[in-house]
Structure 1
Amino acid sequence: MKTEILGIQFDDLTRQEAAQRGAELLAEDRFHYVVTPNPEFLLAAERDPEFRAVLNGADLVLPDGIGVVYSAKILGTPLKERVPGIEFATDMLACLNERKGRLYLLGAKPGVAQEAGRRILEQYPGIVLCGTHDGYFKDEEAVLLEVAAAQPDLLFVCLGAPKQEKWMARWGRHTGARLAIGLGGCLDVFAGNVERAPERWQKLGLEWAYRLKKEPRRIGRMAKLPLVLVKAAGERAKGGHKGGKD
């Protein structure tokens, strides 16, 4: 079931349902990609038709940001729950571990993907880490060839939005991967460089506030959360919300 929030068609799933669907995609012998939009994505997609099309063309569109969940409520089409990209990624690692599958990590600063991979293998010894590459590259085709040569089943693409989403849409089917996920800064979390908010903050929908407390320089990005809520309220007020659920 899809729910439209400010032009983006989200899958209305719980974390468990998303994990089940992700496992199904990972089992299929063809390429799929997953996106995890937050309020910044929604604002960027308004200005960038290509980005909007890439998001809506994904096999799974999961609401990563609490601002997306609040916007859905304002619009009168509430989502079941927030499904953070890091949690979906963790569920897919568990699935890949059972399958004894192959993982490739693409993105972040030099050395981060390697450390993230090392830590992932400590927790999921059944996974084969078939390759890593940092996100500081200019030749997209050269990186594509490296990824394809590694023959991954699961590919984490952590280049930041909209670069990672456009990369998956453009090159993903040529990588040989079954499933690619755009995950922003998640490799830094897996590598231990960035700490997630305590669980009580997460449950209250205040993970953004915890990040802001730890990284005050993010204030400009966090300011986009209320802007999205204002846009949702404006759309509801003028009766312009046509997405609903289907």
Structure 2
Amino acid sequence: MNTVNILGIDFYNTTFNQFIDTLSTHLEEKSKAFVVTANPEVVMRARKDQAYKAIIQQADYVTADGIGIVKGAGLLGTALPERVTGYDMTLRLLQLAHEKQYSVYLLGGKDHVVKKAAATIAEDYPNVRIAGYHHGFFDLNDEGIVETIQHVNPDIILVALGLGRQEAWISQNKDAFQHGIFIGVGGTFDGLAGEVQRAPEFWQKLNLEWFYRLMKEPSRWRRQLVLPHFALKVLQVKMSRAGKAPARS
């Protein structure tokens, strides 16, 4: 598999459409895949948390969710073609599930949010088989959740438990299933439920979706501090490779 290493994390070198084709093949073949959609926050957390990094490295595919990853790859001379975001991936998979009548399970979010997200999917993609849904407020070691999902045997499992927790749940439980696409989708259910408005296309094209969200949710400012740290580390690595300065760990 062709990958690009960004600060210790191997990203799948693919376009969005190519990756959807890859996942479509998994669905047709009834095989299994663990997908991590990673932004700079994921990369920087993996640098500090070796247990989390080990989980990310277990994934079958790590895609460039954030524009910072794409820009960082370019600076390091190993370009990635474009973002492959969790939200857009979810929408395309739902369209594919509608066309092929695949089943989908939603795990995570607040109770009323996941219910609204499931209702939206049922309305917008009527041929999708909603295998079930469950809120995200449960113990990660709750085997009852796993048994419930095993029983309904979904084709696609969308896991919205937040950074770290969703990847941990998938890593811990994916071997209990015979097939399925497992994807950590973060706040996607909030978007599907209409709880959070996605940035208009204008902002997306300018690669300023992160700034739009910051304006709408000022409380996110602490999370955004990771962006300059990520950029600095990329520049340090770039300079180190050029023999101008040592890279710091």
So what's the TM-score if we normalise by structure 1? 0.94
Instruction: State yes or no: 1:214 paired with 2:199.
Output: no
1:146 corresponds to which residue?
Answer: 148
C-alpha displacement at 1:240, in angstroms?
A: 8.7
C-alpha displacement at 1:225, in angstroms?
A: 1.0
Give 1:168-179 correspondences, 5 Å limit: 168-179=170-181
Code of the aligned partner of 1:38: N
2:246 corresponds to which residue?
Answer: none
Runs of 5+ consecutive residues of structure 1 not aligned to the other structure: 242-246
Task: Render the CA deviation track for 1:118-148: whole Å, top value 9, x for unaligned.
Answer: 1011111111111100000014312111211
Alpha-carbon spacing, 1:159–1:240, altered in 2? closer, same or farther (3 Å): farther
Task: With a CA cutoff of 8 Å and minimum separation of 6, indicate the structure with the bigger relative contact order.
Answer: 1
Give 1:1-246 correspondences, 5 Å limit: 1-138=2-139, 139-239=141-241
After superposing the two structures, state which structure 1 stretch, 126-135 or 52-61, moved more: 52-61
Code of the aligned partner of 1:178: G
Code of the aligned partner of 1:102: S
Using the alignment, how far apart are the partners of 1:105 and 1:26 within structure 2?
17
C-alpha displacement at 1:24, in angstroms?
A: 1.1
Using the alignment, how far apart are the partners of 1:2 and 1:176 within structure 2?
26
Code of the aligned partner of 1:95: L
Alpha-carbon spacing, 1:7–1:240, altered in 2? closer, same or farther (3 Å): farther
CA RMSD in angstroms, aligned pairs only: 1.5
Code of the aligned partner of 1:85: G
C-alpha displacement at 1:203, in angstroms?
A: 0.8
Query: Is the 1:106–1:132 contact (alpha carbons within 8 Å) kept by the matching residues of 2?
Result: yes
Using the alignment, how far apart are the partners of 2:237 and 2:111 within structure 1?
43
Query: Is the 1:51–1:162 contact (alpha carbons within 8 Å) kept by the matching residues of 2?
Result: yes
SS at match of 1:4: strand
Query: Is the 1:145–1:175 contact (alpha carbons within 8 Å) kept by the matching residues of 2?
Result: no
Code of the aligned partner of 1:32: A
Task: Render the CA deviation track for 1:47-73: whole Å, top value 9, x for unaligned.
Answer: 222222222222221111111112111
C-alpha displacement at 1:168, in angstroms?
A: 0.7
Using the alignment, how far apart are the partners of 1:229 and 1:36 within structure 2?
19
So what's the TM-score if we normalise by structure 2? 0.93
Runs of 5+ consecutive residues of structure 2 not aligned to the other structure: 244-249
Query: Is the 1:31–1:173 contact (alpha carbons within 8 Å) kept by the matching residues of 2?
Result: no
